[in-house]
């Protein structure tokens, strides 16, 4: 089964093609600057144990033009891995927000598309781009089954006590104001890997997704019971440019006392805060260099970043009544040994004992970084959201058929 996975952003398009059940993609790609001059395509093909890379720079005015270029690369001599777009059996789409309506992977119908459009206001930066990707793919891969995989779906198993806010109930019942959580595809993928690795389907796991966006989840027996992002992806951990959890009164103060318009406050907390606001850079590699050079802002930022994660670990250990494994994943989680070291300090009370030598190793595969005698496992697991989407598409179609 040929499954083509699409992750469409407002000006970008990530994609992978899987020939399932093989879990290694036969091609991967990223298109950036869609709608701007000088759009960039990076396309990689894996055949016969070899890798071939194509990099192009051209003007792509919209997602239609971008996907048409992808189809060309998929089918033409030299880069082609299929003969015709009709060979694609399924197109799996990452959709960021599914609200309460979508708790499972779903075949896309006109009714489903209308529901996704109705959720634009909950994810204005993401859902419109996801929707555009669906509409373009329907035209180009007209024989394929179109499937939506929602970032919020994994968190729909949270109990009401975890997802409700302590505000009048009408804001939830009428307006949908509640915790939704995000990065669900990543959390689901790594949590399943932990269960397999520990051979314990009932495992109590805390998954820690650290990239430019950061979130955590408390997972018991493969089900999410709490997560750090909330109504939007702004809540929770300190991130690359987002503040994470902050006293709501700060917003009132910025508006009423400093005279900042709401749009400017929104931009401040989402795009100018986090590590960028603390240090001047949202790139953890740059912050780490500054820290090593003795920059006090970078030193403090790392301490704050790790401390916020530690606080969530403590609360999630309480929610789970213990913890069998901590899991670090995504760009920072997988590659930043310093972050993992700082997070695991003073965690002996939870049975967490980090092995410094193991922690320093980078090998791109699932690995333990705890000491042999550590009661709790500390794992690094590379996430693979595209593979998780492909797997969920396969499972859904198997159930339908």
Q: Which residues are annotated as a binding site for Mg(2+)?
A: 7, 385
Binding-site annotation: residue ranges for substrate? 94
Binding-site annotation: residue ranges for ATP? 14, 209-213, 283-285, 331-335
Catalytic member of 89, 151, 226, 336: 151
Which token pair is 259? 């005279």
- Residues 207 and 224: their CA atoms lie apart, in Å, by 10
Query: In this structure, are residues 309 and 343 in contact, taking their beta carbons and an 8 Å threshold?
Result: yes
- Residues 13 and 6: their CA atoms lie apart, in Å, by 7
Active site residue 175: no
Q: Helix (H, G, I), strand (E, B), or coil: what is residue 53? A: strand
- Residues 70 and 204: their CA atoms lie apart, in Å, by 41
Which token pair is 228? 């750090």
- Residues 114 and 69: their CA atoms lie apart, in Å, by 28
**Cα distances (angstroms) measured from residue 259 to each of 247, 262, 285:** 18, 9, 35
- Residues 149 and 96: their CA atoms lie apart, in Å, by 8
Binding-site annotation: residue ranges? 7, 14, 94, 209-213, 283-285, 331-335, 385
- Residues 331 and 39: their CA atoms lie apart, in Å, by 24
- Residues 141 and 4: their CA atoms lie apart, in Å, by 10
Query: In this structure, are residues 227 and 216 in contact, taking their beta carbons and an 8 Å threshold?
Result: yes
The catalytic residues are: 151
């Amino acid at each position: 089964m040929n499954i083509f996975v699409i992750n469409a952003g407002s000006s970008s398009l990530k994609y992978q093609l899987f020939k399932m059940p093989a879990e290694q993609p036969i091609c991967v790609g990223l298109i950036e600057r869609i709608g701007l001059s000088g759009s960039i395509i990076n396309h990689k093909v894996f055949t016969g144990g070899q890798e071939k890379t194509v990099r192009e720079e051209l003007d792509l005015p919209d997602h239609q033009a971008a996907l048409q270029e992808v189809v060309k690369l998929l089918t033409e001599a030299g880069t082609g891995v299929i003969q015709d777009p009709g060979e694609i059996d399924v197109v799996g789409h990452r959709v960021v927000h599914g609200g309460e309506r979508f708790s499972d992977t779903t075949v896309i119908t006109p009714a489903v598309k209308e529901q996704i459009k109705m959720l634009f206001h909950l994810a204005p930066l993401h859902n419109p781009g996801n929707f555009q990707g669906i509409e373009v793919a329907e035209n180009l891969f007209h024989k394929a089954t179109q499937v939506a995989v929602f970032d919020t779906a994994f968190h729909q198993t949270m109990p009401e006590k975890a997802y409700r806010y302590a505000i009048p109930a009408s804001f939830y019942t009428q307006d949908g104001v509640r915790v939704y959580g995000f990065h669900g595809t990543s959390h689901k993928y790594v949590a399943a890997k932990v269960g397999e690795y520990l051979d314990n389907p009932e495992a109590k796991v805390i998954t820690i997704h650290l990239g430019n966006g950061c979130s955590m989840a408390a997972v018991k027996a493969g089900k999410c019971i709490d997560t750090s992002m909330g109504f939007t992806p702004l809540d929770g951990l300190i991130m690359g440019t987002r503040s994470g959890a902050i006293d709501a009164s700060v917003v009132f103060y910025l508006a009423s006392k400093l005279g900042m318009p709401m749009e400017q406050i929104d931009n401040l907390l989402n795009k100018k805060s986090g590590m960028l606001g603390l240090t001047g850079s949202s790139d953890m590699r740059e912050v780490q260099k500054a820290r090593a050079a003795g920059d006090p802002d970078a030193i403090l930022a790392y301490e704050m970043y790790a401390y916020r994660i530690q606080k969530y670990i403590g609360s999630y250990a309480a929610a789970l009544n213990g913890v069998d494994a901590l899991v670090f994943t995504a760009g920072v989680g997988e590659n930043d040994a310093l972050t993992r070291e700082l997070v695991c300090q003073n965690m002996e009370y939870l049975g967490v004992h980090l092995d410094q030598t193991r922690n320093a190793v980078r090998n791109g595969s699932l690995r333990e970084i705890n000491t042999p005698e550590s009661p709790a496992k500390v794992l690094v697991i590379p996430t693979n959201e595209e593979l998780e989407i492909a797997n969920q598409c396969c499972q859904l179609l198997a159930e339908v058929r």
